[in-house]
């Protein structure tokens, strides 16, 4: 099924595979019929996610997994048929497809879809009192704050009244800085509810709908989810304030990486899914400290693999070697930064590199910073030391193109 505008892009592929292609208009003019019976164990969805490997993996979830993910959120956040929510997040991620679309459909709630996120049209609808619920990534809240702060005091009061009327605003997909949480509360009177999830598990941890919403924390296990922290030996950490890896169990946990049994086996330990995220538990709330892998970058809510970007950059005719890292960024959370060693007598600047990359990488994976250096920092084994690469960008002598 495809929108009429996009159908031509996959028409040839469908023909080659012998798959029937319908536009949305054609599909919706077909009379509705009874839905087929589906086994809960049947595969329902594959979302691709980047990770510690250079190629994205297909995360396969069953109907039972999806039902568990939806029921957990509908219960925790008290969705009802009277809810109204805007959709401006991409549908190829859990945040858009499960938390917004599927929960709304399940509850019989109303959903208003935007072609893409743009602050003004969304703000106008908030001001008109169009919604009861709002879900977004931290970058979107940062962008909305920029617009609100630039507005006149009268307009700001009108936005504030619109936001105050919502019954719940949620942030997730990346860390919400406590500063942004506080700025948002001051501007709109809304205390954002931060939650934590992952493509492989749906949502796992959340601040409560009723009760303390703690800035900088992601709360505790959602209904139907078991969460623990494990030390390096895989043992459960029982003491408060000791850091460990978040591990998750529950009916919402995915079935397998598509055609990757090795990768699937590697992420389960004694029946627990190992997230690779490191946290502490403080007075019953999980607080995320970071990730085990330096090769995962979260930019504007998108999870990017540094290795995937490096593999593409190494095909650039001027680049001899390179390392990709995520640098802290006020708007994006983390921004893709490239340290590159060039072939002798070569030159390269950021606009030229971005143009070259545009043909080969999704727009949100394009480098935002470029540092040309003589050599990459390596350890005794010859492996690039990513934390030292990050430091290179901070050094006062560094000539970073941004």
Report strand pairing: 84-87 vs 268-269: unpaired
Burial of 401 (0-12, 13-18, 19+ CB in 10 A): middle
218 binds, options ligand MCA, ligand AMP, none, Cβ within 5 to 8 A by partner type: ligand AMP
Task: List the one residue from 72, 275, 299, 305 that touches ligand AMP (CB under 6 A).
Answer: 275
**Residue 277 interacts with ligand AMP (CB under 6 A): yes or no:** yes
Q: Which H or E run contains 193?
A: strand 193-198
277 binds, options ligand AMP, ligand MCA, none, Cβ within 5 to 8 A by partner type: ligand AMP
**Residue 166 interacts with ligand AMP (CB under 6 A): yes or no:** no
Residue located via tokens 């983390």? 334
Task: List the one residue from 68, 89, 170, 174 that touches ligand AMP (CB under 6 A).
Answer: 174
Task: List the one residue from 57, 181, 213, 291 that touches ligand AMP (CB under 6 A).
Answer: 291
Cα(303)–Cα(293) distance, integer angstroms: 12
Cα(256)–Cα(261) distance, integer angstroms: 7
Site residues, ligand MCA (CB under 6 A): 89-90, 93-96, 117, 137, 139-140, 172-173, 197-199, 299-302, 332, 363-364, 366
Task: List the one residue from 86, 96, 162, 197 that touches ligand AMP (CB under 6 A).
Answer: 197
**Residue 175 interacts with ligand AMP (CB under 6 A): yes or no:** yes
| In the complex, least distance from residue 319 CB atom to ligand AMP, rounded to whole angstroms | 27
Q: Identify any residues that bridge with 136 across adjacent strands, giving them in sequence order.
A: 171
Task: List the one residue from 84, 214, 247, 303 that touches ligand AMP (CB under 6 A).
Answer: 303
Which residues, 83 to 142, sit near ligand AMP by CB under 6 A?
A: 93-94
Q: Identify which of residues 83 and 277 has a Cβ nearer to ligand AMP in the complex.
A: 277
Burial 331-353 (b: 16+ CB within 10 A, else e): ebbbbbbbbbebeeeeebebeeb
Q: Which H or E run contains 400?
A: strand 400-401
**Residue 295 interacts with ligand AMP (CB under 6 A): yes or no:** no
Task: List the one residue from 143, 181, 298, 368 that touches ligand AMP (CB under 6 A).
Answer: 298
Sort residue 216 into left (φ over 0), alpha (ψ -120 to 50) or beta: left
Task: List the one residue from 49, 61, 139, 217 that touches ligand AMP (CB under 6 A).
Answer: 49
| In the complex, least distance from residue 143 CB atom to ligand AMP, rounded to whole angstroms | 18
Binding-site size, ligand AMP (CB under 6 A):
19
**Residue 288 interacts with ligand AMP (CB under 6 A): yes or no:** yes
373 and 339 in contact (C-beta within 8 Å)? yes
Torsions phi, psi of 134, nearest 5?
Answer: -150, 125
Cα(21)–Cα(10) distance, integer angstroms: 8
Torsions phi, psi of 64, nearest 5?
Answer: -65, -40
288 binds, options ligand MCA, ligand AMP, none, Cβ within 5 to 8 A by partner type: ligand AMP
137 binds, options ligand MCA, ligand AMP, none, Cβ within 5 to 8 A by partner type: ligand MCA
**Residue 69 interacts with ligand AMP (CB under 6 A): yes or no:** no
**Residue 173 interacts with ligand AMP (CB under 6 A): yes or no:** yes
Q: Identify which of residues 316 and 376 has a Cβ nearer to ligand MCA in the complex.
A: 316
194 binds, options ligand AMP, ligand MCA, none, Cβ within 5 to 8 A by partner type: ligand AMP
Cα(49)–Cα(69) distance, integer angstroms: 18
**Residue 249 interacts with ligand AMP (CB under 6 A): yes or no:** no
Q: What is the DSSP letter of 209?
A: S
3-state secondary structure at position 165 = coil
Q: Identify which of residues 245 and 310 has a Cβ nearer to ligand AMP in the complex.
A: 245
**Residue 172 interacts with ligand AMP (CB under 6 A): yes or no:** yes
Angle value at C-alpha 80, between 79 and 81, nearest 5 degrees: 135
E strands present in 254-397: 256-257, 268-269, 272-282, 285-291, 296-299, 302-305, 319-329, 333-342, 369-372
3-state secondary structure at position 265 = helix
The footprint of ligand AMP (CB under 6 A) covers 49, 93-94, 172-175, 194, 196-199, 218, 275, 277, 288, 291, 298, 303
């Amino acid at each position: 099924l495809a929108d009429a505008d996009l159908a031509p892009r996959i028409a040839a592929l469908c023909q080659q595979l012998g798959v029937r292609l319908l536009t949305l208009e054609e599909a919706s003019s077909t009379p509705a019929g009874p839905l087929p019976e589906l086994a809960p164990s049947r595969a329902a969805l594959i979302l691709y996610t980047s990770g510690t490997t250079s190629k994205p993996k297909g995360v396969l979830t069953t109907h039972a997994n999806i039902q568990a993910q939806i029921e957990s959120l509908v219960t925790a956040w008290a969705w009802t048929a009277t809810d109204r929510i805007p959709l401006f997040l991409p549908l190829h991620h859990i945040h858009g497809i499960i938390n917004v679309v599927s929960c709304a459909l399940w509850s019989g709630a109303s959903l208003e879809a935007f072609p893409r996120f743009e602050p003004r049209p969304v703000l106008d609808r908030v001001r008109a009192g169009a919604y009861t619920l709002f879900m977004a990534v931290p970058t979107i809240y940062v962008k909305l704050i920029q617009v609100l702060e630039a507005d006149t005091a009268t307009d700001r009061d009108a936005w504030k009244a619109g936001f105050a009327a919502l019954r719940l605003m949620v942030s997730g997909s990346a860390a919400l800085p406590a500063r942004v949480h506080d700025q948002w509360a001051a501007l709109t009177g809304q205390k954002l509810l931060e939650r934590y999830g992952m493509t492989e598990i749906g949502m796992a941890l959340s601040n409560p709908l009723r009760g303390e919403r703690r800035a900088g924390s992601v709360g505790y296990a959602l209904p139907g989810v078991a969460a623990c922290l494990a030390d390096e030996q895989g043992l459960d950490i029982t003491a408060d304030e000791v850091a460990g890896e978040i591990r998750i169990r529950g009916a919402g946990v995915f079935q397998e990486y598509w055609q990757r049994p090795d990768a699937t086996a590697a992420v389960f330990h004694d029946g627990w899914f190992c997230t690779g995220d490191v946290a502490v538990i403080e007075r019953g709330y999980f607080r995320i400290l970071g990730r085990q892998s330096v090769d995962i970058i979260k930019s504007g809510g998108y999870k990017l693999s540094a290795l995937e970007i490096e593999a593409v950059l190494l095909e650039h005719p001027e680049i001899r070697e390179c390392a990709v890292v995520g640098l802290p960024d006020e708007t994006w959370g983390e921004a893709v930064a490239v340290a590159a060693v060039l072939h002798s007598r070569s030159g390269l600047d950021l606009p030229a590199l971005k143009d070259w990359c545009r043909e080969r990488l999704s727009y949100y994976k394009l480098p935002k910073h470029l540092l040309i250096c003589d050599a990459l920092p390596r350890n005794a084994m010859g492996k690039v030391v990513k934390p030292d690469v990050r430091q290179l960008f901070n050094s006062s002598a560094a000539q970073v193109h941004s």
